Amino acid sequence: MTTPIPQPPGIPLVGNIFDVDPSNTWVSLQKLWEKYGENPARWFFILLAWTNIRTSGEIFKITVLGQQIVFVGSVALCEELCDEKRFRKYVGGPIVEIRKAVHASLFTAFANEPIWDVHHRILGPKMAPDAVAEHFKEICNISNELVAKWRDQGAGSTISPINELNRLDIETTTQCFYGRRLNNLTGAAHPMIAAMDGATGEAIKRPTRPKILNWLMYSGKFNRDCAAMRQYAADCLSYRKSHHDLSERKDLLYTMMNAKDPETGKALDEQQIIDEIVTMPIGSSTAPCAISSALYHLLRNPACITRARKEVDAILGPEGEFVHAHLDQLPYCTGIVREALRLSAAAPGFNIEPLPSSSSKDPILLAGGRYSVTATQTMIIVLHGVNRDPAVFPSPYSFQPERMMGEAFEGLPAGAKKWFGNGKRVCYGANYAFMWCVIVLVGLIRETDFEMVDEGYELKQDGWFNLRPVGFEVKVSPRKK
């Protein structure tokens, strides 16, 4: 006999719509997961309440405007739902809404749209580890510019890490993949940053409202933000066409403009190029969130900073050049990035649905038959829960980079490493994003001292297609060596 999936009490007609704050959806889901999630081992963990373990569950559901959604928050269930012989990425809700800006891109294409395979065969090779390694030096150089900016502001100047790293992200992404400098590290931030925030935020909120309300009251700004994002892409494309000195730069934009699908012979048209140009910064925006969170956890755990600096200084020396070959020699810094990805859930989750089946009336059994869902049930993997599963991570709320190193990391279940999604539809920029995170982290801890502006600050997050620290400010000074 199956176990009923827990659900918060709802209101007739609208269901649990008021249990989810549209302005901070993911944090709302985290709270629901902690309160209502079914966990067969809950009483075991209650008995261990003296440890750093908070009791929380592995599955719950809500109903919003007649639509039922199931949420999963354990490593075991996450791993089960990532079995591509049974399940696939579900494109719905906010992802459908953001198609207003990117149409059928690698991020948003429906499973039955063949254009996804065409785009992936053309662009995928440019995201392979060897290909993204070519951008190592560019990321280092631009990151050094940001550190130099802070140095010029004077010791003890106050910054918002997420704001500064968002600037760095759009600057490096645009340079590495499209060959264009925005020069937005100083002065006004590039409008693409605000447009992404506005469009993705509205995309998250729109499924929670009646369509008529979206059309009457919210479409104007959403349309303007989507248009601004596409204008950023159009400007990148126009810049490349007008700068013949960049014609031999074999970057992602070159591939979009010149390559053909090896199977069908199809190429990307101009609108499809713009779609994919816009898509990349939306995806890479999770990286600044992860590193901002890493800085918070490092400041709360100063021994980790000491150990990381010892590793960096031993490998790079006081004035040595940081090169790509050093990445494999920095296991502790790599562990910091992984642990920050775990605790921040910078990319907060992804959507799953059962594979279509001729026996669509048969229920789908989960967890060895413990739970049952319909054959068309939408499920969302909430990484805040998965990444804190006490069955896999002892003291799951503590920051321990050591668990993300060497044999300890290799021994983790596959379901505990889904920071960038899964399988065929995994974030295709994951190799670049992870390299970016390590480069930036190493550069910051090597050259800069950080101090919390508010020593009593506790990490708070919000976000849309990402989760970022809120109200987190630090004082920066050149590192005292």
What secondary structure does DSSP assign to 83-134, as a single string?
-TTTEEE---THHHHHHHHHSS-TTT--TT-THHHHHHHHHGGGGSHHHHHT
Query: Tokens standing for 478?
Result: 């050149």
- What is the pLDDT at residue 360? 67
- What is the pLDDT at residue 39? 56
- What is the pLDDT at residue 358? 66
Q: Specify the amino acid at residue 398.
A: S
Are 454 and 291 spatial neighbours (Cβ–Cβ below 8 Å)?
A: no
In 3-state terms the chain splits into helix, strand, coil percentages (rounded to 5) of 55, 10, 35
Question: Which residue, among 9, 38, 32, 7, has the nearest Cα to 382 in the 3D structure?
Answer: 32
CA distance 36 to 357: 31
Q: Which residue has the higher pLDDT, 27 or 456?
A: 456
Query: What is the three-class DSSP state of 410?
Result: helix
Q: Which residue has the higher pLDDT, 402 or 59?
A: 402
Average pLDDT for residues 450-479, to the nearest whole number?
93
Q: Does residue 480 carry a pLDDT above 70?
A: yes
- What is the pLDDT at residue 359? 67
Query: Tokens standing for 338?
Result: 């992984």
- What is the pLDDT at residue 9? 87
Average pLDDT for residues 170-181, to the nearest whole number?
98
- What is the pLDDT at residue 462? 86
> What is the number of other CB atoms lying within 10 angstroms of the CB of residue 462?
17
Q: Does residue 42 carry a pLDDT above 70?
A: no
Q: Which residue has the higher pLDDT, 166 or 246?
A: 166
* Per-residue confidence band for 155, with pLDDT thresholds at 50, 70 and 90: confident
Q: Does residue 152 carry a pLDDT above 90?
A: no
CA distance 230 to 236: 10
Average pLDDT for residues 97-109, to the nearest whole number?
97
Q: Does residue 459 carry a pLDDT above 80?
A: yes
Question: Which residue, among 339, 348, 331, has the nearest Cα to 295 in the 3D structure?
Answer: 339
DSSP state string for 271-298: HHHHHHHHHHHHHHTHHHHHHHHHHHHH
Which DSSP category does 40 fall into? T
Residues 6+ apart with CB under 8 A from 279: 102, 105, 106, 107, 108
The sign of the CA dihedral 318, 320, 321, 323 is negative
Average pLDDT for residues 7-34, to the nearest whole number?
78
Q: Does residue 48 carry a pLDDT above 60?
A: no
Q: Which residue has the higher pLDDT, 28 or 299?
A: 299
Q: Does residue 51 carry a pLDDT above 50?
A: no
Q: Does residue 49 carry a pLDDT above 70?
A: no
Q: Which helix (H) or strand (E) holds 158?
A: strand 157-159
Are 298 and 304 spatial neighbours (Cβ–Cβ below 8 Å)?
A: yes
* Per-residue confidence band for 45, with pLDDT thresholds at 50, 70 and 90: very low
Are 236 and 180 spatial neighbours (Cβ–Cβ below 8 Å)?
A: yes
Are 353 and 378 spatial neighbours (Cβ–Cβ below 8 Å)?
A: yes
Q: Does residue 314 carry a pLDDT above 90?
A: yes
Query: What is the three-class DSSP state of 23?
Result: helix
Residues 6+ apart with CB under 8 A from 408: 402
CA distance 234 to 195: 14
Q: Does residue 458 carry a pLDDT above 50?
A: yes
CA distance 418 to 434: 13
Q: Which residue has the higher pLDDT, 42 or 335?
A: 335
Q: Does residue 76 carry a pLDDT above 50?
A: yes
Q: Does residue 46 carry a pLDDT above 80?
A: no
- Min mean pLDDT across 2-16, 319-333, 391-405, 413-427 is at 2-16
Residues 6+ apart with CB under 8 A from 21: 27, 28
Q: Does residue 316 carry a pLDDT above 90?
A: yes
What is the per-residue pLDDT across 211-250, written as a single tens digit (0 to 9) for each? 999 999 999 999 999 999 999 999 999 999 999 888 889 9
Query: Tokens standing for 420?
Result: 């960038």
CA distance 415 to 429: 19
Q: Does residue 54 carry a pLDDT above 70?
A: no
- What is the pLDDT at residue 63? 86
The sign of the CA dihedral 380, 385, 391, 393 is positive
The Cβ-side half-sphere exposure at 268, using a 13 Å CA radius, reads 28
Average pLDDT for residues 140-159, to the nearest whole number?
93
Q: Does residue 30 carry a pLDDT above 90?
A: no
Average pLDDT for residues 288-293, to the nearest whole number?
97
Are 27 and 78 spatial neighbours (Cβ–Cβ below 8 Å)?
A: no
Q: Does residue 481 carry a pLDDT above 90?
A: no
* Per-residue confidence band for 13, with pLDDT thresholds at 50, 70 and 90: confident
What is the per-residue pLDDT across 359-397, written as a single tens digit (0 to 9) for each? 667 899 999 999 999 999 999 999 999 999 999 999 999
Q: Judging by beta carbons within 10 Å of its beta carbon (0-12, 13-18, 19+), is residue 117 exposed, middle or buried?
A: middle
CA distance 4 to 58: 13
- Round the average pLDDT of the chain to a whole number and report it: 91
Query: Tokens standing for 267?
Result: 């190429």
Percent residues over pLDDT 90 in the chain:
76
- What is the pLDDT at residue 65? 76
Percent residues over pLDDT 70 in the chain:
95
- What is the pLDDT at residue 19? 78
